[in-house]
Structure 1
Amino acid sequence: MAAAVIIIIIALIFSAAMLTGVMLIAWRSFGRPRHALLWAAAFAVATVEWIANLAFRIAQAEDNGAFYAAIAGLSCLSNALIAAGFVQRSRPQAGPAPFLIAAAGAALLIAGAAIVVPHDGVRDATGLLFGGAMMAISAAHVGRGFRTASLPERSVTLMLMLFALLDGAMAVIALRQGIVGQGEAFALFRTILLLLYPPAFIGVGLFSVFLVAADLAETMRTLATSDMLTGVYNRRGFEDAAERAIRNAHRQRQPLSVVVADIDGFKAINDRYGHGVGDRALRHFASRIERLVRRGDLIGRIGGEEFALLLVNTRPQDAVEVVERIRRDIAAMPVSGPDRVVMTASFGLTGLRPGDISLASLLARADRALYRSKLDGRDRVTSAEELEEA
């Protein structure tokens, strides 16, 4: 058994060291996310913990109370840094200080049960309960909005919850050891610790790496589908999202409207005030639209000063009212800055029809309606349906 324990500890040392390196690479390569650095620190501490554990076992000093307190303190610190990383991923402004304080408190309690008033059951259970609490906190912050979470987030949440339950169950068994670890409870505790704790530890580490990689992939997808200047969809992102919305509207037999908007005289704004003011005008235009549409509607910048909207579950006649509010708001609210630029916009819109199988046909009709708005004097809204009726 002693040889098997040493082999497992050596495997844990290499696993923790490998996870430390992977997290450092992820931190360095993926935009230096602070939570990845905290996880790298957590696995580095775990590496030191397992090295110390191996050294004391080889020296046959593992029953020393001070030894156990030191190892347990490192374990608490590692678990606290893991939890701090998950919280910081969820809330970037959060710092690790509360977790470090909690780890110090747990380490003191363990030291008391290992040195001052020796009690093996309390000593082991305290460390396990602290670890379980840290895993539960981590799961709560990854799994908020579990139904809308990504597959990697759900997987990590389940792994953390299993780890927390394992720690809790082992703490109950540890308490049954009594003051001096002996008997069936002691044997069961050591067996579970040997068989289940290493794969749980490695599992949490690997799934944390997957989560960092998934976050990077999501960031890359966002960059690929977002307009860097205004923050709304770019043309590709808008087309992809709109095609899905059109298919969904056909399936559910719901109305849908598409709007094309163009800032009037945008070239003159650039020529008179410069491209910096022109960029501010584009951001202003996108932000005003975002304020006036519902959550779930789509906004995209599909050209230089041309934007598109998709209004879900909205008939063309209702879309006219929505777009009129946007038009009046744009004309009434000057662009922020010392120049106080006032601009207007022209709009063309159309509704989804049974024969519309793609976004292209809706954009074509909305473009024709927009062209009519320009011909009629700009700063107005034209519906393709109203044009056809006329």
Structure 2
Amino acid sequence: MTAAIVIITVLIFIAAMLCAVMLIAWRSFGRPRHALVWALAFAVATAQWFSNLALRLQADDNTALHALTAALGCLSNALIAVGFVQRNRAPRRVRPLLAAALVASLLIGVANFVEPVMGIRYSTGLGFGGLMMLVSAFNVAGGFRQASLPERAVMVMLTLFAAIDFSLAAIAMGPGTANDEGSLFFFRSVVTMLYPIAFTGVGLFSVFLVAADLADDMRRLATSDMLTGVYNRRGFEDSAERAIRNAQRQRQPLSVVVADIDNFKLINDRHGHTVGDRALRHFASRLERLVRRGDLIGRIGGEEFALLLVNTRPQDALEVVERIRRDIAAMPVDGAARIVMTASFGVTGLRPGDISLASLLARADRALYRSKLEGRDRVTSADELEEVA
């Protein structure tokens, strides 16, 4: 048994195991579509390595089997790229990838049946594989700077695997248009050393990314309010403490707002808890629409919410919150009842002596209490309240 046959046999088991792992991940972790596509990609890769093994065991050069092996390889690489595209929520890019796999398979088929040149046959498949790895790296995240640490690692490794594929494709073109046995032997030796590393690496990093996504989902569930989708109290406090430390370090302004829906108990009593839940979701969605990306929103009590406005002075925060107050009063809750809500707000800014979120929340809460006492549906500044006192 040659070393190549041993390596191919090992790759069959690796591809089959990766397929099984992806199927388990898809079945157990919320059925993400990209995990199912990757499972299919590694199933196709398993068939490809079986076909490759059959080629090695045959004495003659089977042109049809060569074409089948190459077509399966193109399809597997295309499906890996499709999985990354689906994870990145860009479904419009899926069909072009599958069409490209079909074109590459046809080109390899032509190279096998019309002009059976080994160099062209191998370089086309490897070049297509490298292209699919680059597409995958491009679709891991919206950009390298916005990517998480696991996503950056996957992007770097996919780029390296693309470089391996392109290098092997260049080596494959070495024999040119003639089937030079010496050059082909060199090419196959290099493939035996490098391609298993690239293939196994792509599989392992795909599994790694699924695991990282699961960890992010679990972390998000632990810090998010299930009803409204904004931060829960724990998530808001953790993120706000980091924002406060950063503002103090950078000497930047920061404002905290506490909001409370007026007479929320009456909504529940008159219309039921289903409508009350809809009102809470409506309130949270209006807040998300009216604050900037990077500001924090949290549901810290039943009908009580908190905002942290980064790089915002208290007087500017008052203008933002007044705009929110008017929007809440003007936009009825969707549904047959068409409920019009109002809300009360308390606002405060970061001061030099503030060392934690608790002191800001306490001041904002006192301002909110004054808004309630003075008739609700209004905004009160903690600074102005203290000046009056």
Query: What's the counterpart of residue 10 of structure 1?
Result: 9
Question: Counterpart amino acid of 2:192?
Answer: L
Give secondary structure in 2 for the equivalent of 1:259: strand
Question: Structure 2 CA distance, aligned partners of 1:291 and 1:43?
Answer: 42
SS of corresponding position for 1:230: coil
CA distance in 2, matches of 1:306, 1:143: 34
Percent of aligned pairs with the same residue?
72
Structure 2: state its 5+ residue gaps. none
What is the CA distance between 1:126 and its match in structure 2? 1.0
Of 209, 220, 227, which aligns to 2:225? 227
Is the contact between residue 260 and residue 370 of structure 1 (CA under 8 Å) also seen in structure 2? yes
Query: Mean Cα displacement is larger for which, 47-56 or 14-23?
Result: 47-56
Deviations 1:125-145 (A, max 9, x none): 111111111111111111431
SS at match of 2:139: helix
Aligned length: 388
Matched residue, 1:213: 211
Matched residues in 1 for 2:331 and 2:270: separation? 19
Quick one: which of 336, 339, 345 aligns to 1:338? 336
What's the counterpart of residue 347 of structure 1? 345
Q: Would the alpha carbon gap of residues 266 and 97 (structure 1) be closer, same or farther in structure 2, given more than 3 Å must change?
A: same
Shift of 1:52: 2.1
The residue type equivalent to 2:57 in the other structure is I
Contact kept in structure 2, 1:118 and 1:179, CA below 8 Å:
no
CA contact (8 A) 2:55 2:66 kept: no
Q: Does 1:270 align with 2:282?
A: no
Deviations 1:69-97 (A, max 9, x none): 11111111111111111111112645754
1:315 aligns with 2:316: no
Question: 132-141 vs 181-190, which deviates more?
Answer: 181-190
Equivalent of 1:147 in 121, 125, 145:
145
Provide the alpha-carbon RMSD of the alignment: 1.5
Q: In terms of mean alpha carbon deviation, does 33-42 or 108-117 score higher? A: 108-117
Cα deviation 1:345-366 (Å, max 9, x = unaligned) = 1111111111111101111111
Look up the SS of the partner of 2:260 in the other structure: strand
**Structure-1-length-normalised TM-score:** 0.96
Change (3 A) 1:144 1:188: farther
The secondary structure found in structure 2 opposite 1:347 is: strand
Q: Distance in 2 between matches of 1:136 and 1:317?
A: 49
Matched letter for residue 8 of structure 2: I
Structure 1 position 138 matched with structure 2 position 136: yes
The answer to whether residue 18 in structure 2 is matched with residue 19 in structure 1 is: yes
Q: Is the 8 A contact 2:12 2:49 kept in 1?
A: yes
Whole-angstrom CA distance in 1 between matches of 2:142 and 2:294: 20
- Determine the C-alpha separation between the residues in 2 that align with 1:231 and 1:12: 43
CA contact (8 A) 2:258 2:304 kept: yes
Decide whether aligned partners of structure 1 residues 271 and 143 sit closer, same or farther in structure 2, where only a CA change above 3 A counts: closer
Partner secondary structure for residue 350 of structure 1 = strand
Does the 8 Å CA contact 1:88/1:94 hold for their aligned counterparts? no
CA distance in 2, matches of 1:184, 1:151: 44
CA distance in 2, matches of 1:144, 1:341: 39
Q: Structure 1's 230 and 210: CA in aligned 2 closer, same or farther, altered over 3 A?
A: same
Counterpart amino acid of residue 297 in structure 1: D
Q: Which runs of 5+ in 1 are unaligned?
A: none
Alignment partner, residue 36 of structure 2: 37
| Match of residue 322, structure 2, among 316, 321, 324 | 324
Structure 2: distance between partners of 1:233 and 1:287: 12
Matched with 1:47 is 46
TM alignment of 1:352-367, pairs within 5 A: 352-367=350-365
1:118 offset after TM fit, Å? 1.6
Kindly indicate whether residue 236 of structure 2 is the aligned counterpart of residue 250 of structure 1: no
Q: Is the 8 Å Cα contact of residues 85 and 91 (structure 2) preserved in structure 1?
A: no
What is the 5 A alignment of 1:15-94? Answer: 15-61=14-60, 63-91=61-89, 93-94=91-92
Shift of 1:271: 0.7
